[in-house]
Amino acid sequence: MIVIDNVGAEVSSRSPSADMLRRVQWAIMLLLSVVIYGSHAPLISICRVDGVIPFSSSAVVLLIEVLKFIISLACHLITENKPFDMSVSWRFALPYAFPAILYGVNNNLVIHMQHFMDPSSFQVLSNLKIVSTALLYSILLGQRLSIRKWFAIFLLTAAGVFYSYGGIQDVEKASAAAQLYITLPGLLIMVIYCLISGMSAVYTEMTLKTQKIPLNLQNIFLYSFGIVINLLAHSSGSHNGGFLDGFSIWVFVIVLSQAFNGLIMSVVMKHSSNITRLFIISCSMLVNGLLSYMLLQLQLTFLFFLAVVLIGFAVYLFYGIR
């Protein structure tokens, strides 16, 4: 019998050396995901031209979904060593339409919320999705978390708030006092955003774990709906020029890295949990801060180092104490 432990490694009756190799592979995968998450924002900044993103963000998202689909299909054909079975029941595929729609709704909410609050308030309040994801994970998947682990989740949320509020700053603009504001509609939309974010993640995990079919096939279903949703979003969006206008080598690096990270996240949710995913995203803030300091000459503030301490303590509380 195979048991999934709380860091996602599979523990079985294999030899100790095989178990150790499995744990090392898992650790490398999680570390790579942290680096990819953390490098995303600095890479976007590098792509800017005169402070403006020169490419269509919807085109990038669509390409990421297409690449994930192609990789999943190729892996499925290789591992199954047989042609793709078109007779697979549609009932296996249909559940993935729901998270695809939720992801699409949330992408639009992010844009819509900018009319009701300033960007800094959005960055700070969006960390509440850590709590909503953990809460829905506990309720929908029946995973009871101890008080110690809930406190670790709280520390992750606090670390995200501190980091977003002023963990890194542009030295040249640090003195410019930006006006913070948030309206009641903005607050309500933020609550909906956090709930949808948690629901989509937990529902995806639940579907991946309950279906007894290969993960690559599940990814094919998930990314097929993702392609459809994002194709509709791109077609209805207001963008000028061609599909690849403004693309550079760094944009393709973003597409490749984010596609690879999406595949890693499917493995995490299949064999571990959304809680592990939350820790990956939180730890990626540290990579983001260091890369922003080294590549973009942004200033690391006291709040950044406070976030580092809180994340480290949260990891210790959640995983370190037996």
pLDDT, tens digit (0-9, with 9 covering 90-100), for 155-174: 999 999 999 888 877 655 54
Task: Tell me the C-alpha distance between 53 and 201, whole Å.
Answer: 28
**Assigned token pair, 253:** 């690096």
Domain that holds residue 43: 3-320
pLDDT, tens digit (0-9, with 9 covering 90-100), for 105-139: 887 787 677 778 876 777 788 889 999 999 999 99
User: Total structural domains in the chain?
Assistant: 1
* Global pTM value: 0.84
- Going from the first residue of the chain to its last (322 residues), give the mean pLDDT of each consecutive group of 10, the final group possibly shorter: 39 68 91 93 86 85 94 90 64 88 82 74 85 93 91 94 81 52 85 93 94 91 92 79 88 95 94 93 90 85 92 91 57
End-to-end alpha carbon distance in the chain: 22
Question: What is the reported pLDDT for 118?
Answer: 73
Question: What is the reported pLDDT for 19?
Answer: 83
